[in-house]
Structure 1
Amino acid sequence: MFIRAYLRASTDEQNAERAKSALDQFTQEHAQRIASYYTENISGTQLDRPELNRLLTDTQANDILLVEQIDRLTRLNDHDWKQLKRMIEEKGIRIVSMDVPTSWQALDNNALTHNDPIIKAVLDAINNMLIELMAAMARKDYETRRERQRQGIEAAKANGKYKGKRADTERHQKVKNYREKGLSLREIAEATGYSRSQVCRILSGHT
């Protein structure tokens, strides 16, 4: 069993590494240690995430995918979440999240070898239900914030105060520098956390 920690933040302004010490302490309290870290700055609403894909490629059956909160793993819509969950289940990976206490049993070697299949089945069912609930809440929170943002923009436009979203000039410059060094669109997207379409827009000057 290997514990693979997944750390995600939405943009370069958010520090994806912030949760690393909390995850380290959490595993130590359960007499375990993290085998590898997968860190990226990318939206949780995107299914195609380079580091998450690398984690899924690296894992073996019974490995643990560790996150600080379920929303670090998913803010996906229902269709994409089902697809990601199917990929996780096919690999035989167990999700452990610090905000879902029922998932912590996967860190307990005694629990893994428990002889009572009924108790194990009940605990697994409760855990799966809570993870589903937390995933739905994460998506709902994202949609609520987006709607409030839209309403705020509409109000600002109506009052003549909306100036548009400011481009992240430093991050855009990184895209151009990577392109000058000969990196492909895919490599630039992976390095910056942008989608390929965003990279194309930045390079064309239409941001």
Structure 2
Amino acid sequence: MFIRAYLRASTKEQDASRAKADLQRFAEERGLRIAASYVENESGASLQRPELFRLLSDCQPGDVLLVEQVDRLSRLNAADWEKLKAEIAAKRVRVVALDLPTSHQLIQQGGDEFSARMLDAINGMMLDMLAAIARKDYEDRRRRQTQGIEKAKASGVYKGRPEDTDRNEALMSMLKGGQTWASIVAATGASTSTLARLAKRIKEGP
């Protein structure tokens, strides 16, 4: 059994570092070691997450996918969550989340088959529930944000998010220099959607 930690760092790099330390502490308290960590820069609301699927590709049956919170794994809509669950089930990977206590026993080996199956069933139901809550929180936040922007626009005070021109110029220089998207993401933490927008800007010219 290998334990593979999955970390999403779509906002602040320090958040991923803190989460990584928490996951390592969780494993060490149980006399276990994390074999590999996978850091993702894509949104949990999207199924297009290369690091998550690289993790699953590396997994063998019985391996553990360890996350800090269920919403790090999924803020997906119902259809995409079912697709991800099917992929996890096909690989026979056990999901353990620090905020899902029913999953913690899955990281320990041993126990009888009946207890293991019961625990899997209970954990599956709880995982579904927390994934649904994470999606609802995401949709509520997006709705409030949209309402706030519309209100600000109506009041004539909305200016949008200011562009980080220095950062974008540096990213475009890296793109023009022939660096791969993967290397830029790894070095800067920029999202692939940002790189796509800047690549289009370069293509279109001044």
Deviations 1:101-152 (A, max 9, x none): 1111112223xxx2352x3322211110000000001111100000010111
Size of the aligned set, in residue pairs, is: 201
Question: Cα gap change, 1:173/1:22 in structure 2, threshold over 3 Å: closer, same or farther?
Answer: same
Distance 1:46 1:52 in 2: 11
**Structure 2 residue aligned with 1:154:** 150
Question: Cα gap change, 1:140/1:126 in structure 2, threshold over 3 Å: closer, same or farther?
Answer: same
Structure 2: any 5+ residue segments left out of the alignment?
none
Correspondence 1:30-179 to 2 at 5 A: 30-110=30-110, 114-117=111-114, 119-179=115-175
Query: Does the 8 A contact of 2:10 with 2:191 survive in 1?
Result: no
Distance 1:100 1:186 in 2: 32
| Partner amino acid, structure 2, of 1:11 | T
SS of 1:35 mapped into structure 2: strand
Q: Which moved more, 1:140-149 or 1:100-109?
A: 100-109
Q: Say yes or no: does 1:180 pair with 2:180.
A: no
- TM-score (normalizing by structure 2): 0.87
Question: Cα gap change, 1:60/1:174 in structure 2, threshold over 3 Å: closer, same or farther?
Answer: farther
Structure 1: any 5+ residue segments left out of the alignment?
none
Q: CA RMSD in A?
A: 2.2
Distance 2:3 2:113 in 1: 25
SS of 2:38 mapped into structure 1: strand
Query: Does the 8 A contact of 1:70 with 1:99 survive in 2?
Result: yes
- TM-score (normalizing by structure 1): 0.87
Query: Does the 8 A contact of 2:185 with 2:192 survive in 1?
Result: yes
Distance 1:90 1:147 in 2: 35
Question: Cα gap change, 1:124/1:200 in structure 2, threshold over 3 Å: closer, same or farther?
Answer: closer
- In the TM superposition, structure 1's runs of 4+ consecutive aligned residues that sit over 6 Å from their partners are none
| Partner amino acid, structure 2, of 1:166 | P
Question: Cα gap change, 1:171/1:70 in structure 2, threshold over 3 Å: closer, same or farther?
Answer: farther
Query: How much does 1:174 deviate?
Result: 4.3
Distance 2:28 2:182 in 1: 37
Identity of aligned residues (%): 49
